[in-house]
A = this chain, B = another copy of it.
Amino acid sequence: MIRAKIIGASGYGGIGIIELLHSHPEAEIATLVAMESVGMPISDLYPHLKGFCDKVVVAPDSPEAQAPVDVVFMATPDKVGMKYARTELERGAKVIDYSGDFRFNTAEAYAEYARRIGKDPAHDAPDLLVESVYGAPELHRADITPARRIVGNPGCFAISCILGLAPAAKAGLIRPGSIICDCKSGISGAGKKLAAAHHFPNRHEQVNAYKLAGHQHVCEIERELSLLAGEEQTVTFTAQVVPISRGIISTLYADLVIPMEEQAIHGLYQDFYGTDGFVRVFPSASAASIGTMQVRGTNYTDIVVSVDARNNRLRIVSIIDNLMKGQAGSALQNMNLLFGLPEKTGLDHIGIYP
């Protein structure tokens, strides 16, 4: 059994991986670490876990938190994973980090990212960056192997945008500079931290945009799409909040370099993703029936392909569960690959409806 430690266990990202690991046939939860709620059974904090996982939350500096494990999920904000990673690696664990800390492979790339979002550009463990891989198996499966020790789990908005445009970028269909990502997230994307904007009465009938000056996920979107396209791709990115708990719907626009029909692009997307992974591709006529509820609780990405022929523009609707493919689901998918397991182990379940 793969023994797992979760750091940041008491947040939504922590709960998500607890739920998944509990039903994983080859892994078990060894330790739950958090800054808050130390000494409480996690099931007191989240009573739906009662009888399933009643482990007590321990502090980061407690002896229990130092016990070696096989994998550490860093369900923590930026600047935390970079502090803990080396120690965990030295103890023999692999590290899967949820933040921006290990999504870049050079100190320069990290610094550029950090600068854009107003954080300290210095990385605490720059030598580890070269070891890290961006945890998008659909694009980097060959690099997420048992030989790998560190995965930078993708940002939630980012993975929806990247998977939504990857086949088109790879095929060279996109005019550079023309990409627009209009993204809408459910509130759990902001985590469990209280905020006036997410106080129920302020949110129940509220939809708004935010962070127009620059969102932290733009860098990784531009990096991945540029890699795929073989030329620089920049994006205009808009983050918006909609009053649902779970789900991201990203509507993506890009000018086509040459006119193409929807059917051809749809076929190209199907070829890119195949039929046995976590991406399902739909034609534009299906749009009204494919929304956030169709992926809720699952690791799937549902992609609707559409072309606005009048304006020679590709339009993709890319839908994920922000806490699954956008967070814990991707993390588990990456863990499976790091340990040589079939990619869908513990993830191949139907969501619930309605």
A binding-site residues for B, Cβ under 8 Å: 12, 15, 19, 22-23, 46-53, 177, 180, 182, 184, 186-188, 192, 194-213, 234-236, 238, 240, 242-247, 249, 251, 253, 275, 280, 282, 284-298, 302, 304, 306, 308, 310-311, 313, 315, 317, 349-354
Collect the chain B residues with CB atoms within 8 Å of residue A293's CB.
48, 202, 205-206
Interface centre among A186, A203, A287, A304 (most CB of B within 10 A): A203
Shortest A22–chain B CB gap in Å is 6
**A-B contact sample (11 more), CB < 8 A, given A199-B199, A209-B251:** A19-B353, A23-B350, A186-B205, A194-B195, A197-B288, A204-B243, A207-B242, A212-B306, A235-B311, A238-B315, A253-B253
The answer to whether A206 touches B291 (Cβ under 8 A) is: yes
Interface of chain A, main secondary structure: mixed
What is the copy number of this chain in the assembly?
4
Of the candidates B48, B177, B350, the one whose C-beta lies within 8 Å of that of A353 is: B48
Collect the chain B residues with CB atoms within 8 Å of residue A195's CB.
194
The answer to whether B243 touches A200 (Cβ under 8 A) is: yes
CB nearest neighbor in B for A276: B51
Collect the chain B residues with CB atoms within 8 Å of residue A187's CB.
199-201, 204
